[in-house]
């Protein structure tokens, strides 16, 4: 009798594990690669044994600077077979720049993503003097690099594709070939694709140190002609006009925002507390 019970228990627990967790796709950030997400993948597998995790290993390291539209296309081709094989859909966790690659994929292509977790991603763009910027473009400053980024050559570089200079907003809208096209000027089809999501989770915090303003991780950004005043997501024109469906999702209770202090940019994906408090419960 005990043996039968045990067998039944083992059967049920293996069935539970094989059906209850959707596959997870993970996408790394800029100047980083798939291996940087190893500990994150382990945290998922430890918390939810049996989860199939795909850690996207394209556009690693220096290749992470390839323009965003190409990355979106390339990453989609890697995500598609995983999505096609998942009849109940997949979950997506995308870190930093990866969060914009993933949003590009979601908007431009059909998908079956259930939950999209954006982990410290500059969803509304970036405007900050950071070590990354100084390392890549030592001869420019925050205030003049738009002269390079908002050119055809500058648009070949990923960072240029989400550079959002609040003092040159009309140049941003007309010359940036990526972020405005999936945020401010997105066609109806992109909105329809976003509305297929069941859950969106934005995670970020004030001690990030790289995402600037840090509120960009929550879809807020500097007010035009200011580098201090913040327009929050719900006050943004693309929100009030519901251009990409954020308002619809939010009204349906499908957007969760976490503001977590004490986490520097390069620690989000390795911090077990962040994982336990803000991530794992969404990966069902």
**Contact between 271 and ligand NAG per CB under 6 A:** yes
Annotated catalytic residue within 36, 55, 165, 208:
208
Largest distance between two CA atoms of the chain: 77
**Contact between 267 and ligand NAG per CB under 6 A:** yes
**Contact between 209 and ligand NAG per CB under 6 A:** no
Phi, psi of 28 (to 5 degrees): -80, 175
Choices 81-89, 181-189, 221-229, 259-267 (CB under 6 A): range interacting with ligand NAG: 259-267
Tokens standing for 62?
A: 């220096």
**Contact between 262 and ligand NAG per CB under 6 A:** yes
**Known catalytic residue at 169:** no
**Contact between 161 and ligand NAG per CB under 6 A:** no
- Written as one string, the DSSP assignment of 52-121 is -EEE--SS-GGGGGB-HHHHHHHHHHHHHHHHHT-TT-EEEEEETHHHHHHHHHHHHS---EEEEEEES-
Nearer to ligand NAG, 69 or 271 (CB): 271
**Known catalytic residue at 111:** no
The DSSP call for residue 223 is P
**Contact between 263 and ligand NAG per CB under 6 A:** yes
Kindly state the smallest distance separating residue 270's Cβ from ligand NAG, in Å.
Answer: 8
Please give the Cα distance from 163 to 145 (Å, whole number).
9
**Known catalytic residue at 217:** no
Element counts in the chain: helices (H) and strands (E): 13, 8
**Contact between 266 and ligand NAG per CB under 6 A:** no
Please give the Cα distance from 125 to 161 (Å, whole number).
9
Nearer to ligand NAG, 102 or 260 (CB): 260
Give the residue numbers marked as catalytic: 96, 208, 265
Binding site for ligand NAG (CB under 6 A): 260, 262-263, 267, 271, 273-274, 277
């Amino acid at each position: 009798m005990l043996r039968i019970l045990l067998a039944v228990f083992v059967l049920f627990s293996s069935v539970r594990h094989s059906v209850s967790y959707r596959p997870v796709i993970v996408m790394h950030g800029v100047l980083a690669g798939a291996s940087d997400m190893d500990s994150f993948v382990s945290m998922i597998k430890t918390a939810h044994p049996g989860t199939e995790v795909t850690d996207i290993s394209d556009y690693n390291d220096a290749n992470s600077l390839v323009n965003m539209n190409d990355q979106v296309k390339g990453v989609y081709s890697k995500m598609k077979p995983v999505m096609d094989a998942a009849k109940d859909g997949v979950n997506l966790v995308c870190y930093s720049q990866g969060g914009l690659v993933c949003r590009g994929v979601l908007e431009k292509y059909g998908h079956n993503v259930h939950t999209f977790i954006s982990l410290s991603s500059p969803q509304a763009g970036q405007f900050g003097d950071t070590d990354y910027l100084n390392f890549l473009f030592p001869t420019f400053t925050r205030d003049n690099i738009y002269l390079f980024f908002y050119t055809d050559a500058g648009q070949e570089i990923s960072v240029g594709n989400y550079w959002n200079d609040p003092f040159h907003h009309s140049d941003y809208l007309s010359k940036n070939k990526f972020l405005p096209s999936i945020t401010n000027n997105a066609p109806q089809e992109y909105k329809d694709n976003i509305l297929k999501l069941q859950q969106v989770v934005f995670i970020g915090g004030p001690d990030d140190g790289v995402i600037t303003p840090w509120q960009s991780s929550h879809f807020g950004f500097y007010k035009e002609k200011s580098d201090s005043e913040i327009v929050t997501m719900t006050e943004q024109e693309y929100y009030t006009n519901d251009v990409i469906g954020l308002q619809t999702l939010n009204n349906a209770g499908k957007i969760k925002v976490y503001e977590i202090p004490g986490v520097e940019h390069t620690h989000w994906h390795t911090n077990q507390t962040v994982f336990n408090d803000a991530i794992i419960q969404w990966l069902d």
